[in-house]
Amino acid sequence: MDKLVIEGGVPLHGHVALSGSKNAALPILLAAILVPEKVCFANVPPLRDITTTIKLLQLLGCQVDQEGPEVRVTAGEGLHPQAPYELVRTMRASVLCLGPLLARLGEAEVSLPGGCAIGARPVDLHLRALEQMGAEFTLKGGDIKGRCDRLRGARIAFDFPTVGGTENVLMAAVLAEGETVLENAAREPEITDLARFLNACGARVTGHGTSVIRVQGVTSLRGTDYTIMPDRIEAGTYLAAAAITDGKLVLENGQLEHIEAVAAKLQEMGVHIEERPEGLVASRGKELHGVDVTTQPYPGFPTDMQAQIMALMAISHGSGLIKETIFENRFMHVSELVRLGAEIKLSGQSAMVRGVSSLYGAPVMASDLRASASLVLAGLAAQGRTEVRRIYHLDRGYVRMEEKLRQLGARIWRASE
């Protein structure tokens, strides 16, 4: 197993190129199941989750080839409807093949993903919405088995603006008969990216980016070329890296409009962020201050940035309260940040962070993807040596993070345990 070793205390400087978005690429690659012709994707981030998705597409009968960030998928004849547990358990996003398989084949057999370190992560809202469109489900041996004739359009009002649920239903609706209206739909930029891809294939989706999405079903989709959007969570993480090390970074292809809530909180803390032609420029102001943060669905502050802003608050002046409202167990990084000298008190879904003047290197354990990123950030700021173990979590979502950081001046390397 690999670990990252960090000698902290070096301010980061330079340009960093953002990779394609993991959370956009995963559903969009699976949406290719809907398209019988070849689809050519660019800017696909070379990540462990992408490799898993490609394996899944191949198991489902798609032809896939990959050259770096370019991935070509053909979902021709002879598709299979089964997504096995071995793959689904390693990547929750696998459940997003349910909507496309039902729409394309009229059947799907996808293992129930189960929970993960950050929470239970149920899919009841996905299933209920697909049932409204005519699908029938049974659960046997841990597998969801779904069947339908051609799905029919429906008016679906989500109880909560679920990101995965909106994606699954949106993909199912593009080939359904008639109109589907999704109310209280998720508004995340990754949903917009998915809708744009589907429209490029001939789908008729409007309203994406708002909470009411309308889909006029069509009978088939055609192949296209599509470039995945840049990763806004990677962007937020590097903004935090500039601030926590007291450096100055230019995030090439960073888009402020996708991370306004994050930028606003960082600015409130004292970070300078500017949008320039060369990218987003971030540097620390004179002094950083703690702020209160509550995670919310987009356009609110993203849960995927909660751990990283906590690391930054750990070395800011004053205190701040962080409330996590999306996942019930997304505070696993707290005890590890405390090992580095942070002062954080947990109470239910809230964490009170009292800034300290410095952190001190220590061995720490990553429990999930963004927790890993927060420990790397803290390690970059800490005095002495930090070792972050179990970084397979980090590799699920950050492209060559240690190489990118090293190019910015960080003393960080990968070693095996």
Ligand X SMILES: CC(=O)N[C@H]1[C@@H](OP(=O)(O)OP(=O)(O)OC[C@H]2O[C@@H](n3ccc(=O)[nH]c3=O)[C@H](O)[C@@H]2O)O[C@H](CO)[C@@H](O)[C@@H]1O
* Residue stretches of the annotated binding site: 22-23, 92, 121-125, 304, 326
CB proximity list for 15: less than 8 A, separation 6 or greater: 249, 250, 252, 278, 279
Judged by CB under 6 A, the chain residues 238 through 297 that form the site for ligand X are 297
CA distances from 84 to 66, 89, 91, 236, 321 (A): 22, 9, 11, 34, 41
Find which of ligand X, ligand PEP, none residue 124 binds, CB within 5 to 8 Å per kind: ligand X
| Nearest approach, Cβ of residue 327 and ligand PEP (Å) | 8
Catalytic member of 40, 97, 116, 148: 116
**DSSP codes of every residue in 15-83:** EEE--B-HHHHHHHHHHGGG-SSEEEEES----HHHHHHHHHHHHTT-EEEEETTEEEEE--S----EE
CB proximity list for 175: less than 8 A, separation 6 or greater: 34, 103, 104, 150, 151, 217, 218, 219, 220, 221
Q: Per-residue string for binding with ligand X, 21-50, x by CB under 6 A? A: --x---------------------------
- Residue entry with tokens 């963004």: 370
- Number of residues in contact with ligand X under rule CB under 6 A: 21
Taking CB positions, which residue lies at the least distance from ligand PEP?
304
* Percentages (nearest 5) of helix, strand, coil residues in the chain: 35, 30, 35
Q: Does 129 bind ligand PEP (CB under 6 A)?
A: no
Nearest by Cα to 182 from 200, 166, 194, 193: 166
Q: Does 196 bind ligand X (CB under 6 A)?
A: no
- The single residue among 109, 143, 231, 304 that binds ligand X, judged by CB under 6 A, is 304
Closer CB to ligand X, 139 or 343, in the complex:
139
Q: CB of 330 within 8 A of CB of 119?
A: yes
- The single residue among 92, 196, 265, 333 that binds ligand PEP, judged by CB under 6 A, is 92
| Nearest approach, Cβ of residue 246 and ligand PEP (Å) | 26
Give the integer Cα–Cα distance in Å for 207 and 214. 6
> Which two structure tokens, joined as six digits, stand for 5?
């070793």
Find which of ligand X, ligand PEP, none residue 226 binds, CB within 5 to 8 Å per kind: none
Give the integer Cα–Cα distance in Å for 63 and 343. 51
> Which two structure tokens, joined as six digits, stand for 393?
């979590």
Catalytic residue flag (residue 116):
yes
**Binding-site sequence positions for phosphoenolpyruvate:** 22-23
| Nearest approach, Cβ of residue 326 and ligand PEP (Å) | 10
Q: Does 209 bind ligand X (CB under 6 A)?
A: no
- Residue entry with tokens 């008729």: 204
- The single residue among 167, 304, 387, 402 that binds ligand PEP, judged by CB under 6 A, is 304
Find which of ligand X, ligand PEP, none residue 397 binds, CB within 5 to 8 Å per kind: ligand PEP
Amino acid letter, 93: A
Find which of ligand PEP, ligand X, none residue 188 binds, CB within 5 to 8 Å per kind: ligand X
> Which two structure tokens, joined as six digits, stand for 267?
């600015």
Helices (H), 78-175: 85-88, 98-105, 124-132, 163-173
Could you tell me whether strands 363-365 and 212-216 are parallel, antiparallel, or unpaired per DSSP bridges? unpaired
Q: Does 326 bind ligand X (CB under 6 A)?
A: yes
Q: Per-residue string for binding with ligand PEP, 365-394, x by CB under 6 A? A: ----xx------------------------
Closer CB to ligand PEP, 110 or 362, in the complex:
110
Phi, psi of 253 (to 5 degrees): 50, 25
Q: Does 114 bind ligand X (CB under 6 A)?
A: no
- The single residue among 16, 57, 93, 108 that binds ligand PEP, judged by CB under 6 A, is 93
Q: Does 359 bind ligand PEP (CB under 6 A)?
A: no
| Nearest approach, Cβ of residue 174 and ligand X (Å) | 19
**Cα angle 345-349-353, degrees, rounded to a multiple of 5:** 30
Q: Does 190 bind ligand PEP (CB under 6 A)?
A: no
- Number of residues in contact with ligand PEP under rule CB under 6 A: 7
Residues near ligand X, by CB under 6 A = 23, 119-126, 160, 162-165, 188, 297, 302-304, 326-327
Residues near ligand PEP, by CB under 6 A = 23, 92-93, 304, 369-370, 397
| Active site residue ranges | 116
